[in-house]
Amino acid sequence: MMDEDSIKKVEEMESISGKPSGIGKIDRGECERGAINAIACNLCPFGHMLECHYPLTCDEAECGHYDSEA
C-alpha cells in the first residue's frame, strides 16, 4: 500500500501520460491479472510499473520500454 504522497505522484504521472500505471492499478485493486504486489509488474507481459497496456502486450502496444529492453 502506497502512502498519500506516493499516491498523489502516481495520479499526477498518470494524468500527464494519459495511461494507467501498473503500480497505480495494483494499489487501487484494478489489476486485471490479479496482482497484489508491484513486484509483479517486473514480470508482467502486459506492461510495467509506469504503464499498463492490458490487454495488449508491450510488443503489441509498441511500447518504447519494450523496444529498449528487446
- The per-residue b/e assignment along 30-62, b for 16 or more CB within 10 angstroms, e otherwise, is ebeeebeebebbeebebbbbbbbbbeeebeebe
What's the confidence (pLDDT) of residue 37?
A: 92
Predicted model pTM: 0.83
Domain ranges of the chain: 4-69
Largest CA distance in the chain: 35
SS3 52: strand
pLDDT mean values, one per 10 residues, the chain (70 residues): 92 94 96 94 91 93 65
Is 14:6 a contact under the CB 8 Å cutoff?
no
What's the confidence (pLDDT) of residue 44?
A: 92
What's the confidence (pLDDT) of residue 65?
A: 64
